[in-house]
Amino acid sequence: MSVAASPRRIVLLRHAKADWPSVPDHERPLAERGRQEASIAGRRLADLGITFDLAVVSSAVRTRETWKLVAHELSQRPKTIYEDRLYDATLGDLLALLTEIPEEVDNLLLVGHNPGMHALADALCSEADDDHLARLDRGGFPTAAVAVITFSGPWKSVEHGVGRLTDYWAPHD
């Protein structure tokens, strides 16, 4: 595919609701509500009809559990990379990670954490369809929320303001 032929997609998914047992933060599992949210988010992603080329998932337990439940709902499971750098990532870390995505990837799913997912959506999107940007600004990026961002060009060119927010959804919408 030519880089300019059609837009690429970055789909951001925040992990579902986590439990608070006495374990290190990285090891926190999903709560029962989170397991339900993850399945619903997976159905939402399936309904969007996007075939993902790659899923990059934080190595934290709650993001891995979220991905397992989401992936179960998809018609095709993409190649998956579990990435330590997504855990506790800053906006700068996330932007740097995006520039490392292989050029053959057109549709990317990132499964991560706040405040990074919200910061990335906010930074990338200079415009939006419908009222998605206003809803993102108003509601933040709650657990199991999904933002679909399109942009044109190579991954190495991903920077502030290059994207368009084409969909934004949260389980409680």
Residues annotated as binding site?
Answer: 62
Low-confidence ranges of the chain (pLDDT < 70): 1-5
Calculate Rg over the CA atoms of the chain.
15
Distance CA 165, CA 163 (A): 7
**47: its two tokens:** 């309904």
Edge to edge, the sheet with strand 163-169 lists 79-83, 54-58, 107-112, 8-14, 146-151, 163-169, 125-128
**93: its two tokens:** 């870390």
Residues annotated as binding site for substrate?
Answer: 62
The per-residue pLDDT for 88 is 95
Distance CA 18, CA 52 (A): 25
The per-residue pLDDT for 4 is 47
Rounded to two decimals, the pTM is 0.94
The per-residue pLDDT for 5 is 57
Best CATH choice for the domain 8-169 from the list 1.20.120.1200, 3.40.50.620, 3.40.50.1240, 2.60.120.330? 3.40.50.1240
Report domain extents, the chain.
8-169
